Every structure is written in C-alpha cells, then in structure tokens.
Amino acid sequence: MPVLAALRWSGGDLDPAFPVHVAFAGNHHLMLAAGSRGRLAELAYDFEALEALCHAHGWTTVHLFHRDSDTLFHARDPFPIGGVVEDPATGAAAAAFGGYLRAIGRAPASGTVTVLQGYDMGRPSRLTVTAHTADARVGVSGQAVPLP
C-alpha cells in the first residue's frame, strides 16, 4: 500500500479492528488506525510522497489514530497538501472520523468520543466528536493551544 510506504509504516503497524477507509465530512480524509500509541507518536513521513498521494486521491488529510478506549482516541493529521507537516487540531477530520466510527459500527452508545490531537507536537488539543446513530449529522467541539 503506497500510503504505508509514504508514512514509513508496515501493514503490521495497523490496528486490524479498524478498516482502512476514506471518510467524508465536506472533505475526504483517509482513516488509518495505528496498532500502538508508540507507532502513532513516532510519526516521521515522506512529505512529498504523501502530498502526491493526497493530490492523486483527493484526500485533505490522512487521519492517523489510536484507540485508547472506546471513547478516547489519540490522533495525528498530516496535511501536506496544505503545506503543513501536521495539523494540531483538525475539526474537519474529526467530523469525518465520527462518521467513520458510526459507519463501521464502532461509535459508542453515547455517540460521543474524545480525540486528543497535537500532543506529540507540543500543541495539545481536545476535540469532542458526537455521532449518534439516529442523526446523520456529526458534531465537533473543542479547544486547542494558541500559538505564542
């Protein structure tokens, strides 16, 4: 899989409980689940290769995540087509992620999950994602650390 090569990951780095999927919430975001928190924390990818893949497939970001629990996830969002190595708080990707969890039957009964993003780059954000099965909408709220 070319995206794994660009990320410098292997198939064994993925969590098989979460299928690879392109989710949409106004923009397309590739969803990839890291099998360990350590794998997610060690993000060092080939910027140009991932940028080319994003352009070729119409992905706005590659939403990398790791499940800490059914309601808590850690995420990283490479954003090479925006000229940014990584976005510390990505509401659009979080919305797509909520729809993805609902579509694969992994949204919790409450419909609400917390996504911790930006921690590994020193810009922590906490996003609350709500995706109820009876409502096609996905809600995202949260806070991030402002730039100094």
**136 three-state secondary structure:** coil
Q: How much is the pLDDT for 143?
A: 76
Instruction: Say whether pLDDT at 147 is over 70.
Output: no
Question: DSSP readout, 58-109?
Answer: TEEEEEEEEEEETTEEEEEEEEGGGTEEEES--HHHHHHHHHHHHHTT-S-T
Structural contact between residues 33 and 18, judged by C-beta atoms closer than 8 angstroms: yes
Domains by residue range for the chain, with CATH: 2-144 (3.10.310.10)
Read off the pLDDT of residues 92-129 as tens digits, 9 standing for 90 and up. 999 999 999 999 999 888 889 999 999 999 999 999 99
Amino acid present at 48: E
Burial class (CB in 10 A: 0-12, 13-18, 19+), 5: middle
Phi, then psi, of 127 in degrees rounded to 5 = -115, 135
Query: According to the model, what pLDDT value does residue 84 have?
Result: 92
* Angle at CA of residue 20, ends 24 and 89, nearest 5°: 55
What is the per-residue pLDDT across 46-98, written as a single tens digit (0 to 9) for each? 999 999 999 999 999 999 999 999 999 999 999 999 999 999 998 899 999 99
Indicate the SS3 state at residue 36.
Answer: coil
Which run of H or of E encompasses 116? Answer: strand 112-117
